[in-house]
Structure 1
């Protein structure tokens, strides 16, 4: 795998575009409770991408390229302190610019790893993908929305059982804390096992005010105290395997559609965010 940004334009021009895959990570700088860094989603996206690239190069005989991650993303809860969010419209516009630039280099297989599960972000990215493909031909693919929805390689029975028992872990809970424990324990702050659980229903997650109430003073929704490195490895491996399955199908242009059509994209009220602005919280004087 190679960092596209460290290559010369002549080196990029010489690459076999039909046997190349370019990975683009887009996720926010965003608060993740008391125990995780603002770059959590970016760190996960980079880790999953590189893990997938290693396997795909072996499986497909393709050459994988990547760019530095782009800290650009939309989110439904903007005003929690510490976050840098963009509107859905701006996220879509920036993504279009990135993707069309890579398309103009001649690459046939461009994969967006939108490692931030918020529907507003996933919809903004999918809209950008659709626009880029409509203008320049099918060459861009964004599978993370569907992977977050449960489409992909079936997880290990132990992980599946744990997820059923401790569900609704939406933000900076045991899922993301476990993931970062596996990626690098130094990312996770001490004291995460003393943090209280925060609960919210699937239905209430669509309401911004209820999300903020659930986040309270801590900024997480779920149970960070249940996190373990072992769970993190299972979560990360499963995500990497699902990305590999999705990208391999897209590379061959066969049976990839289940990953490329985000289920929630069809819910029109979720597109209202394209008309909204980002709310930001100022530091109290």
Structure 2
């Protein structure tokens, strides 16, 4: 990742004012500090959001050099009550995240930015709903265009190389939920010095989260994830980590180009949107 992206924090107001806002877009990495098993760092999700944002800027530049990426400072916050009974998780209330994002994105809109991508690496339902409702509020207020990235990628029905890769190993990727093969692979690829203990020795943990919620459990730990992970971290590889990062960035870059160009974007499935709207409260 060698492309030098413009960072909002390093610019002056004069430089921001001078940007061609019709050809500029803001990348805003967002994800909470959260436990990721005994083997991964608490910053796994925000590291992912940051790396995807940086690589996205490079990919967009290669595909359309007339577009200018502006990297906003990372927001290491989010909603993660489902892991909040482990030390290290910092979980915001949904309404807090909503208000934070409305104010943050409003500030960007008031500075003249028309296109904003919230680069997210965390799919907790409350977290996702707070983002989507904040986006709707700011878009309606300012007439800008904002997207959340992870939900549109994961829940659009798009066939993902990382899923195909995992299934070739005999791993049902729908059961890879948290601090799993995918996330462990990403950290192995980008931050091997932050791997704790020996993931290869961790047994697979298979939990039906939907069933756990139906049974009244509110956290992964209550559902049986005593070490804070659900999936198969033992099968993680640097190769899968590379696929994960590059595929997320490629998809995010394509969405940004579509957003600026006024073209249709991948949509989250109606089932997910209906679930967030009617079943999840901030």
* TM-score relative to the length of structure 2: 0.89
Q: Distance in 2 between matches of 1:64 and 1:158?
A: 31
Q: Does 1:71 align with 2:76?
A: yes
Which 10-residue stretch deviates more, 159-168 or 135-144?
Answer: 159-168
Which 10-residue stretch deviates more, 11-20 or 180-189?
Answer: 180-189
Q: Distance in 2 between matches of 1:155 and 1:56?
A: 20
Q: Distance in 2 between matches of 1:269 and 1:118?
A: 15
Give CA deviations for 1:200-228 in whole Å, capped at 9, x if unaligned.
Answer: 12522545446223453311111111101
Q: Following TM superposition, by how much is the alpha carbon of 1:231 offset from its aligned partner in structure 2, in angstroms?
A: 1.2
Give CA deviations for 1:118-163 in whole Å, capped at 9, x if unaligned.
Answer: 1111111000000000100032111221212254464268516348
Relative to structure 1, is the Cα distance of residues 150 and 200 closer, same or farther in structure 2, using a 3 angstrom cutoff?
farther
Number of the residue aligned with 2:272: 264
Relative to structure 1, is the Cα distance of residues 235 and 144 closer, same or farther in structure 2, using a 3 angstrom cutoff?
same
Give CA deviations for 1:224-277 in whole Å, capped at 9, x if unaligned.
Answer: 111011111112221111112211111111111x347885232244322x1xxx
- Residue correspondence of structure 1 range 30-109 to structure 2 within 5 A: 30-60=34-64, 61-77=66-82, 78-109=84-115
Q: Does 1:248 align with 2:262?
A: no
Paired residues in the alignment total 272
**Mapped contact 2:166–2:172 kept (Cα < 8 A):** no
Structure 1 alignment gaps of length 5 or more: 275-285
Q: Structure 2 residue aligned with 1:197, among 199, 204, 213? A: 204
Q: Distance in 2 between matches of 1:10 and 1:261?
A: 42
Question: For the aligned residues, what is the CA RMSD?
Answer: 2.2
Structure 2 alignment gaps of length 5 or more: none
* TM-score relative to the length of structure 1: 0.88
**Mapped contact 2:155–2:268 kept (Cα < 8 A):** no
SS of residue paired to 2:27:
strand
Q: Following TM superposition, by how much is the alpha carbon of 1:188 offset from its aligned partner in structure 2, in angstroms?
A: 1.5
Which 10-residue stretch deviates more, 262-271 or 172-181?
Answer: 262-271
